[in-house]
Protein backbone atom coordinates (compact mmCIF):
# COMPACT_ATOMS: atom_id res chain seq x y z
CA UNK A 1 0.00 0.00 0.00
CA UNK A 2 1.64 3.30 -1.09
CA UNK A 3 1.84 5.83 1.74
CA UNK A 4 2.10 9.51 0.82
CA UNK A 5 3.70 12.14 3.02
CA UNK A 6 0.55 13.48 4.67
CA UNK A 7 -0.74 10.08 5.64
CA UNK A 8 2.67 9.23 7.11
CA UNK A 9 2.41 12.31 9.35
CA UNK A 10 -1.12 11.19 10.19
CA UNK A 11 0.27 7.78 11.10
CA UNK A 12 2.83 9.41 13.41
CA UNK A 13 0.16 11.53 15.05
CA UNK A 14 -2.03 8.46 15.42
CA UNK A 15 0.80 6.51 17.00
CA UNK A 16 1.53 9.41 19.34
CA UNK A 17 -2.13 9.58 20.32
CA UNK A 18 -2.10 5.90 21.05
CA UNK A 19 1.12 6.15 23.03
CA UNK A 20 0.38 9.31 25.04
CA UNK A 21 -2.37 7.87 27.30
CA UNK A 22 -0.09 4.96 28.20
CA UNK A 23 2.56 7.26 29.69
CA UNK A 24 0.69 7.94 32.92
CA UNK A 25 -0.21 4.35 33.69
CA UNK A 26 3.30 3.21 32.80
CA UNK A 27 4.81 5.88 35.08
CA UNK A 28 2.43 4.79 37.84
CA UNK A 29 3.40 1.17 37.22
CA UNK A 30 7.11 2.08 37.35
CA UNK A 31 6.55 3.98 40.58
CA UNK A 32 4.79 0.98 42.13
CA UNK A 33 7.67 -1.32 41.17
CA UNK A 34 10.23 1.18 42.46
CA UNK A 35 8.38 1.55 45.76
CA UNK A 36 8.58 -2.16 46.27
CA UNK A 37 12.22 -2.35 45.24
CA UNK A 38 14.03 1.04 45.45
CA UNK A 39 17.19 -0.37 43.83
CA UNK A 40 15.28 -0.29 40.55
CA UNK A 41 15.37 3.54 40.53
CA UNK A 42 19.06 3.36 39.74
CA UNK A 43 18.43 0.76 37.03
CA UNK A 44 16.17 3.18 35.16
CA UNK A 45 18.42 4.80 32.51
CA UNK A 46 16.51 8.12 32.48
CA UNK A 47 17.00 8.51 36.25
CA UNK A 48 20.62 7.35 36.16
CA UNK A 49 21.71 9.71 33.38
CA UNK A 50 19.86 12.63 34.97
CA UNK A 51 21.79 12.02 38.20
CA UNK A 52 25.05 11.80 36.22
CA UNK A 53 24.28 15.12 34.51
CA UNK A 54 23.41 16.93 37.74
CA UNK A 55 26.45 15.40 39.44
CA UNK A 56 28.71 16.62 36.66
CA UNK A 57 27.34 20.17 36.96
CA UNK A 58 27.86 20.11 40.74
CA UNK A 59 31.44 18.85 40.33
CA UNK A 60 32.21 21.60 37.81
CA UNK A 61 30.76 24.28 40.11
CA UNK A 62 32.80 22.98 43.06
CA UNK A 63 35.97 22.95 40.94
CA UNK A 64 35.33 26.50 39.77
CA UNK A 65 34.69 27.64 43.35
CA UNK A 66 37.81 25.94 44.74
CA UNK A 67 39.91 27.39 41.91
CA UNK A 68 38.71 30.88 42.86
CA UNK A 69 39.86 30.21 46.44
CA UNK A 70 43.31 29.11 45.33
CA UNK A 71 43.96 31.99 42.97
CA UNK A 72 44.56 35.42 44.50
CA UNK A 73 41.88 37.99 43.75
CA UNK A 74 42.66 40.16 40.78
CA UNK A 75 43.73 43.60 41.95
CA UNK A 76 43.67 46.51 39.56
CA UNK A 77 46.95 48.33 40.02
CA UNK A 78 47.73 46.35 43.14
CA UNK A 79 48.54 47.42 46.66
CA UNK A 80 51.05 50.29 46.73
CA UNK A 81 54.42 49.33 48.19
CA UNK A 82 55.04 50.64 51.73
CA UNK A 83 58.58 49.45 52.10
CA UNK A 84 61.78 49.84 50.11
CA UNK A 85 65.11 48.07 50.05
CA UNK A 86 68.10 50.01 51.33
CA UNK A 87 71.69 49.12 50.57
CA UNK A 88 73.80 49.38 53.68
CA UNK A 89 77.57 49.54 53.98
CA UNK A 90 79.33 48.85 57.25
CA UNK A 91 81.65 51.72 58.20
CA UNK A 92 83.70 49.52 60.52
CA UNK A 93 87.14 49.55 58.80
CA UNK A 94 87.70 45.93 59.80
CA UNK A 95 84.40 44.85 58.25
CA UNK A 96 83.06 46.88 55.32
CA UNK A 97 80.13 44.45 54.88
CA UNK A 98 77.54 45.35 52.23
CA UNK A 99 73.99 44.19 52.87
CA UNK A 100 70.38 45.06 52.05
CA UNK A 101 67.61 45.85 54.53
CA UNK A 102 63.91 46.40 53.93
CA UNK A 103 62.38 49.34 55.76
CA UNK A 104 59.59 51.86 55.42
CA UNK A 105 59.94 54.51 52.78
CA UNK A 106 62.19 57.41 53.76
CA UNK A 107 63.80 55.34 56.51
CA UNK A 108 66.56 57.49 58.07
CA UNK A 109 67.34 55.74 61.34
CA UNK A 110 70.94 54.97 60.45
CA UNK A 111 73.29 53.54 61.60
CA UNK A 112 71.83 50.04 61.74
CA UNK A 113 73.36 46.89 63.19
CA UNK A 114 75.72 45.11 60.82
CA UNK A 115 74.92 41.36 60.65
CA UNK A 116 78.60 40.51 60.11
CA UNK A 117 80.43 42.42 62.86
CA UNK A 118 77.42 43.11 65.08
CA UNK A 119 78.19 46.83 65.50
CA UNK A 120 75.85 49.76 64.93
CA UNK A 121 77.95 50.86 61.97
CA UNK A 122 75.73 50.26 58.96
CA UNK A 123 75.04 53.36 56.88
CA UNK A 124 72.91 53.94 53.84
CA UNK A 125 74.97 53.20 50.75
CA UNK A 126 74.63 54.52 47.25
CA UNK A 127 76.24 53.37 44.06
CA UNK A 128 78.70 55.64 42.38
CA UNK A 129 77.53 56.16 38.84
CA UNK A 130 80.40 58.22 37.45
CA UNK A 131 84.11 58.83 37.84
CA UNK A 132 86.89 56.35 38.61
CA UNK A 133 84.86 54.65 41.41
CA UNK A 134 81.89 54.06 39.10
CA UNK A 135 79.93 50.94 40.19
CA UNK A 136 81.30 50.94 43.75
CA UNK A 137 79.07 51.29 46.79
CA UNK A 138 79.87 54.21 49.10
CA UNK A 139 78.26 55.50 52.27
CA UNK A 140 75.91 58.36 51.64
CA UNK A 141 76.74 61.29 53.87
**Which residues touch 47 (CB under 8 Å, ≥6 apart)?**
41
Q: Which stretch binds Zn ion (CB under 5 A): 12-20, 31-39, 78-86, 87-95?
A: 87-95
The least CB distance from residue 98 to Zn ion, in Å, is: 9
- Applying CB under 5 A, what is the total number of residues that bind Zn ion? 7
Per-residue binder mask for Zn ion (CB under 5 A), 39-78, x = binder:
----------------------------------------
Q: What are the residues whose beta carbons fall under 8 Å from the beta carbon of 16, sequence distance 6 or more?
A: none
SS3 of residue 84 by DSSP: strand
Confirm or reject binding of residue 114 to Zn ion (CB under 5 A): yes
Of the candidate residues 98, 103, 113, 116, the single one contacting Zn ion (CB under 5 A)? 116
H/E stretch holding 20 reads: helix 5-36
Determine if 125 is a binding residue for Zn ion (CB under 5 A).
no
- 139 is an interface residue for Zn ion by CB under 5 A: no
What is the number of residues in the chain? 141
Of 41 and 101, CB closest to Zn ion: 101
CA angle 135/136/140 to nearest 5° reads 115
Cis peptide before 111 (omega within 30 of 0): yes
- Which of residues 47 and 96 has its CB atom nearest to Zn ion in the complex? 96
| Residue selected from 88, 90, 112, 125 as contacting Zn ion according to rule CB under 5 A | 90
Going by DSSP bridges, is the β-strand pair 98-104/137-139 parallel, antiparallel, or unpaired? Answer: unpaired
Report the C-alpha gap between 21 and 100 in whole angstroms: 85
92 binds Zn ion (CB under 5 A): yes
Site for Zn ion, rule CB under 5 A? 90, 92, 95, 97, 114, 116-117
Amino acid sequence: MPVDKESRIALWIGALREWAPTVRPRLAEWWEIVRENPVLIWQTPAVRYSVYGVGLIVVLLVLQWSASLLLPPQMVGGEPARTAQFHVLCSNPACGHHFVIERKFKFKDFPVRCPKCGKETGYHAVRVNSGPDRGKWIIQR
